[in-house]
Structure 1
Amino acid sequence: MVGVRQFDEQEVIALALNVFWRKGLGEATMQDLAEATGVQRGSLYNAYGDKEAIFLRAFDRYAADFLASVENLLANGDVATRLRNFLDSAIVNMTGGSPPRGCLTTRTALNAGIASEAVRGRVQHLLGELERAVGKAINAAPDGPALPEANRLARVVVTFTRGLAVMERAGYSRKQLKESAATFVDALIGGA
C-alpha cells in the first residue's frame, strides 16, 4: 500500500539512536542509518526527510528515557547519596559498550558541525531539564538546602557531568571517573 510504512518506527529510531551515539550526528550518514535499521535510504528520506530529522526523533526518545531514569536515581537518600547514584549511573552509561559510547548530549554539544538551532535547542532543553531534576532532588533531600541554593548546586553538578564525559573521551577509565565523582561529591557536600 502506497504511503504506509513497512517498518516499526520505534525500532528504527532505537537503532538510529545507537548509530548517532557511536558516530555522532556529524559523522553518521544516511547509509549508516540504512544499514543499521535495515530500511532503505529512500524509505528513510520519505519517512523522515533527512538525517537531522531522524536524529531529533532519536534524541527526543533518548532525552525522555534519560530524564525518567535520572529522576528515579535522585529519588531517595540524603544529598550525597542522591548525587552519587546519579553520577555513578552517568559514568556507567558513558563507559558502556565496546568501544565505550560516551555521552550523547556532550558529543552532540561539542560537534563543531552542528549549525542547526533545532539540535542546539534540544541539547539546551535536556541540560536545563537535567538541572531542574537535580535541583529538585537536592532540595527534597532531608539534608538539602533551600531551592535557590539547590538550583545553583544543580548547575555545578550538571557542569561536572559534562567534564566527566570529556575525560571519558580522553581515555580515563571507569574507575578514575568514579574516583573523581566521589571526590566531587565529598567536596560539594562538605561546602554545602
Structure 2
Amino acid sequence: MIATALDVFWRKGLHDATMQDLAAATGVQRGSLYNAYGDKEAIFLRAFDQYTGQFLEAAGNALSNADAAAGLRRFFDMIIVNMTDGSPPRGCLTTRTALDAAISSTDVRQRVQDVLTRLEQLIGKAIGTGPGKRSAADASRLARVIVTYTRGLAVMERAGYSRKQLRELAGTFIDAVVDNA
C-alpha cells in the first residue's frame, strides 16, 4: 500500500495528489486510509520515509568504492536512472518535494532537509576517507556542492534532458571535481 501511495506522490506531488487518487491507486477506500494511516500528509511522510531509507542505502552502496571518481560515477548513474525511470519519467521525488515543501508543513520540510543532509554525509565520507583524499572539512563542503548539483540535474531532467545527456553532464562535473582534488 505504501509503495503504491509513494508512486502516486512521485507522479503528482504531495499537494496535487488527493486522497481519492490514493484510494483509487491502492484499492483502499478513503475512510479506511484515514483510519489506517491518517491524513494525506501522514501517508506521504510514511511513504517518503520508506523511500528515503531505500534511496540512501542505494546511494551508500553506489558510493562505496575505494576510488572516489568511480563511486561518484556509480552514484550519479543511480540517481539519473532513478529520476528518468518510468513512462513518462518520474523525476526526482526529493526535489519535487523540496519545491512543494515551500507550501508544506514543517514536518515535510524537515524530512527533505534530513535526506539531503544525510546524502551530504554519505558523499563526504566517500570522498574524504582513504589515502590521498580530501580533509573532512573539504569533503563536507564539496559534498554539499555535489548534492546541490544533483538538484540541478533533477531540474534539467524535468526540462527534457535525456538520460544520455544527464550522464554526459554528470561525467563532466565528476571530471572537474576529481581533477581539482
TM-score by length of 1: 0.91
2:8 corresponds to: 19
**Percent identity at matched positions?**
67
d(CA) in 2 for partners of 1:112, 1:155: 19
2:150 pairs with 152, 155, 161, which one? 161
Q: 2:129 aligns with which of 140, 150, 175?
A: 140
- Checking the alignment, whether the CA contact within 8 Å between 2:101 and 2:109 is kept in structure 1 is no
Alignment of 1:64-75 (within 5 A): 64-75=53-64
2:144 is aligned with 1:188: no
CA offsets per residue over residues 132-181 of structure 1, 9 Å max, x none?
Answer: 00001111254421211111110011000000000000101111100000
Q: Hey, which bits of structure 1, 4+ residues long, moved more than 3 A?
A: none
C-alpha contact 2:2 2:46 (8 A) present in aligned 1: yes
CA distance in 1, matches of 2:131, 2:3: 38
Q: CA RMSD in A?
A: 1.1
Residue 138 of structure 2 corresponds to 149
CA contact (8 A) 1:79 1:138 kept: yes
**Which residue number in structure 1 is paired with residue 104 of structure 2?**
115
Structure number with bigger Rg: 1
Of the three residues 47, 50, 58, the one matched with 1:61 is 50
Structure 2 length-normalised TM: 0.97
* Partner SS, residue 31 of structure 2: helix
Residues 113/75 of structure 1: CA separation in 2 closer, same or farther (3 Å cut): closer
Displacement after TM superposition at 1:90 (Å): 0.5
1:155 counterpart SS class: helix
Q: What is the letter of the counterpart of residue 175 of structure 1?
A: K
Question: Counterparts of 1:2-41 in structure 2 under 5 Å?
Answer: 12-41=1-30
The number of equivalent residue pairs is 181
Pairing 1:175–2:164 present: yes
**Which residue of structure 2 aligns with residue 9 of structure 1?**
none
Which piece of structure 1 moves more, 162-171 or 106-115?
106-115
Q: AA paired with 1:166?
A: V
Shift of 1:115: 2.7
Partners of 1:88 and 1:115 lie apart in 2 by 30
Partner of 1:129: 118
Residues 83 and 157 in structure 2, CA contact (< 8 A), matched pair in contact too: yes
Is the 2:83–2:91 contact (alpha carbons within 8 Å) kept by the matching residues of 1? yes
Question: Contact between 1:80 and 1:189, CA under 8 Å: does it hold in 2?
Answer: yes
